[in-house]
Amino acid sequence: MSYKAEYIWIDGTEPTAKLRSKTKIVKDGAPLPNWGFDGSSTNQAGGHASDRVLKPVFTCPDPIRGGDNVLVLCEVLNPDLSPHASNTRALLTEVAERFADQESWFGIEQEYTFFKDGRPLGFPIGGFPAPQGGYYCGVGADEVFGRDVVEKHLDLCLAAGLEISGINAEVMPGQWEFQIGPLGPVEVSDHMWIARWLLYRVAEDFDTAATLDPKPVKGDWNGAGAHTNFSTKAMREAYEPIITACEALAENAMEHVRHYGHGIEDRLTGHHETAPWDKFSYGVSDRAASVRIPWQVELERKGYIEDRRPNANVDPYVVTRLIVDSCCTALEKAGQV
Ligand code: ADP
Ligand code: MN
Ligand code: MN
Ligand code: MN
């Protein structure tokens, strides 16, 4: 017998990469081979030397096709098997290995927005719904739009074995969130990319599009972020390392923000539960700070921090690499490992 392997990869679209996938029929018992694709159609090669290589790096059951079928997340390589310039996972694995002894954990909150017929789900033709207030974690047909897709997506993530930890309706109609983690930097990112692929894929079946646009509606409507919760072993055991991590993020603030997703200035305005993109701050319980220390973390004197800056369209391989690099370097220097 043969089974279907859906090879999934991240393309080279600028400024924000897209997901691509295609199906390989694999003979039972055979290992998943490297595969090729036309890089000139994905902004990953010119037309004259267009071949690029797909290298399987993470496999899980395909919850849509069922049976023995699998989803296969891939890294993109050049024909000489070096990582392609768009391959941010290869950069992360290096940094993650360097600081593996600090046992970093991440939980990423992925916000997104459903669109149908050119407007967010729940928005009336040519106008706006009632202002924000009742939609967040709401219930009822006048508050909540798209729950059928969201429930299906949650079930698919669970059936695929992804470490999804929750879902909620967000502040703007048609806007939702799911959380992945806590997991190590590479694992949380692999699970996130598969969860994103499943979201787009299942929304197809409902004739709906999901977007990670960080500011899908201009004006007095919340943007969409990817709050990134982070801890190391030392931070999970004591409070001092929590402050060291916050100070490390302060020191590298602009370098981080530059890579936290295209269009970040439009979302991090200082309004709608955000801090301005060019002014770093951290604080306990503070949803208007760049980085929040949850109240129970201050109380228990240990735990994790929440970087509230990353856009919904951030590359998880990039945000986790920057945070591990900045914070683990500082923690090492401070002897807090
Ligand atoms: P919020 O209150 O900001 O909406 P959520 O409950 O949506 O928070 O998300 C919190 C995320 O933080 C979850 O994904 C959770 O798994 C993760 N998390 C919890 N503890 C830790 C930890 N020690 N280190 C890293 N992430 C953590
Ligand atoms: Mn949340
Ligand atoms: Mn949220
Ligand atoms: Mn949050």
pLDDT for res 29: 84
CA 198, CA 182: separation in Å to the nearest integer?
A: 19
The torsion defined by the Cα of 238, 241, 246 and 250, in degrees rounded to 10, comes to 170
What is the per-residue pLDDT across 53-94, written as a single tens digit (0 to 9) for each?
999 999 999 999 999 999 999 999 999 999 999 999 999 999
pLDDT for res 47: 85
164 & 297 share domain: yes
Q: How many folded domains does the chain comprise?
A: 2
Q: Of 30, 56, 86, which residue sits at a domain end?
A: 86
pLDDT for res 201: 98
% residues pLDDT > 90 (the chain): 96
* Centroid of ligand 2 to alpha carbon of 167 (angstroms): 8
74 & 116 share domain: no
pLDDT for res 1: 86
225 & 149 share domain: yes
Q: Of 66, 86, 106, which residue sits at a domain end?
A: 86
* Centroid of ligand 2 to alpha carbon of 52 (angstroms): 37
Parallel/antiparallel/unpaired status of strands 209-211 and 175-183: unpaired
Q: Residue 142 belongs to a domain with what CATH number?
A: 3.30.590.10
65 & 198 share domain: no
Residue stretches of the chain with pLDDT short of 50: none
- Ligand 1 binding pocket includes 233 (Cβ within 6 Å): no
* Strand ranges inside the chain, DSSP E: 2-10, 19-27, 35-38, 51-61, 70-77, 105-116, 119-120, 164-169, 175-183, 209-211, 228-231, 282-284, 291-293, 305-307
79 & 101 share domain: no
What residue numbers bound the domain in which 45 lies? Answer: 2-86
176 & 39 share domain: no
112 & 227 share domain: yes
Parallel/antiparallel/unpaired status of strands 228-231 and 119-120: unpaired
Ligand number nearest to the C-alpha of 111: 3
33 & 155 share domain: no
- Ligand 1 binding pocket includes 227 (Cβ within 6 Å): yes
47 & 145 share domain: no
CA 161, CA 153: separation in Å to the nearest integer?
A: 13
For 156, phi then psi, to 5°, come to -65, -45
Q: Classify the C-alpha dihedral 90-77-209-115 as positive or negative.
A: positive
Please identify every residue whose CB atom is under 5 Å from ligand 3, which is an ion: 177
* Centroid of ligand 1 to alpha carbon of 235 (angstroms): 14
% residues pLDDT > 70 (the chain): 100
Cis check for the bond before 15: say yes or no (omega within 30 of 0): yes
Q: Residue 19 belongs to a domain with what CATH number?
A: 3.10.20.70
pLDDT for res 194: 99
- Ligand 1 binding pocket includes 303 (Cβ within 6 Å): yes
150 & 230 share domain: yes
Nearest CA to ligand 1 atom 8: 109
Q: Of 32, 57, 86, which residue sits at a domain end?
A: 86
pLDDT for res 30: 86
Total-model pTM: 0.98
Ligand 1 probe mutation, 163, 179, 287, most atoms within 8 A of CB = 179
81 & 101 share domain: no
297 & 150 share domain: yes
